[in-house]
Structure 1
Amino acid sequence: MAHYNLPHDHGQNIDKILDKMPQIEQFQEVATSFQQLGDGTRLRILWLLCHSEECVSNIAATMGMSDPAVSHHLRILRNNGLIVSRRAGKEVYYKLSDNERANLLHKTMDTMFEISCPTYI
């Protein structure tokens, strides 16, 4: 256990908390993830994929965007582990990943938008 030699002792035994603090690199990874989610269009796409599995062309039509622009956003979301894809013939379909981070983000977005998930209605 490290001793942090803090200038003030407030009686909270902060050393135990600081010992569990993630490394700087881990904070940077999380910050990068948040930056990727800081785009409104990307959040709209993610919200759609929380509630539906869709192909690029349908997502593009829904968003009023080109297929390449949507593909760019999908690549970022997939690289962040938030969505997965599957191929069926020539079509590639995207949906929310089934992992803790993606599910937490789904619930957070539904709470932020003050809606009920159409999947659960």
Structure 2
Amino acid sequence: MSDFKLPHDHGENLDTRFDHMPKLEDFQTASDIFKLLDDSNRIRIFWILCHCEECVINLSAIMGMSSPALSHHLKFLKTSGLIVSHREGKEVYYKAAETPQADLMHKTIERLIEISCPLT
């Protein structure tokens, strides 16, 4: 980007300031992940799954919502890669993914709402 010339010269040296700027696609990925935070129920579900593995029926009881409503949120979280699932018989169990993205999201949520993780 060092060849880039801004329309207004404010006397700043911009030769290398933006050389390491992430690609537009990287910003879109971050935006897509933050879109998951637009629902307090989804944040709460994710927070719970950061602390335990749970089935849909128990999560529904914890959340006080129907299984279909809960499944809608789980689909968003799973598609994003923040949670994973596995089946045992008829039950499907969910937990937070063991990825840097899920860990950062967990820490971000806790930091934003200033709660302490009981497992750390």
> Shared fold by TM > 0.5?
yes
Cross-structure match for 1:65: 65
Cross-structure match for 2:9: 8
Determine helix, strand or coil for the equivalent of 2:38: coil
Unpaired runs of at least 5, structure 1:
none
Seen in structure 2, the aligned counterparts of structure 1 residues 15 and 59 have a Cα distance that, compared at 3 Å, is farther
Question: Which structure 2 residues correspond to residues 5-44 of structure 1 after superposition, within 5 A?
Answer: 5-6=5-6, 7-11=8-12, 13-44=13-44
Quote how far apart the aligned CAs of 1:87 are. Answer: 1.1
Cross-structure match for 1:51: 51
Q: How many residues align?
A: 119
Checking the alignment, whether the CA contact within 8 Å between 2:2 and 2:14 is kept in structure 1 is no
Q: Percent sequence identity over matched residues?
A: 50
Determine helix, strand or coil for the equivalent of 2:17: helix
Quote how far apart the aligned CAs of 1:10 are. Answer: 4.2
Is 1:106 aligned with 2:87? no
For residues 78 and 17 of structure 2, what CA distance do their matches in structure 1 show?
A: 33
Aligned-residue CA RMSD (Å)? 1.6
Q: What is the TM-score of this pair, normalised by structure 1?
A: 0.87
For residues 117 and 26 of structure 1, what CA distance do their matches in structure 2 show?
A: 29
Q: What is the TM-score of this pair, normalised by structure 2?
A: 0.88
Quote how far apart the aligned CAs of 1:26 are. Answer: 2.6
Checking the alignment, whether the CA contact within 8 Å between 2:86 and 2:93 is kept in structure 1 is yes
Cross-structure match for 1:80: 80
Checking the alignment, whether the CA contact within 8 Å between 2:56 and 2:67 is kept in structure 1 is yes
Seen in structure 2, the aligned counterparts of structure 1 residues 2 and 53 have a Cα distance that, compared at 3 Å, is same
Checking the alignment, whether the CA contact within 8 Å between 2:3 and 2:15 is kept in structure 1 is yes
For residues 101 and 25 of structure 2, what CA distance do their matches in structure 1 show?
A: 18
Unpaired runs of at least 5, structure 2:
none
For residues 68 and 15 of structure 1, what CA distance do their matches in structure 2 show?
A: 53
Quote how far apart the aligned CAs of 1:9 are. Answer: 4.5
For residues 95 and 18 of structure 2, what CA distance do their matches in structure 1 show?
A: 38
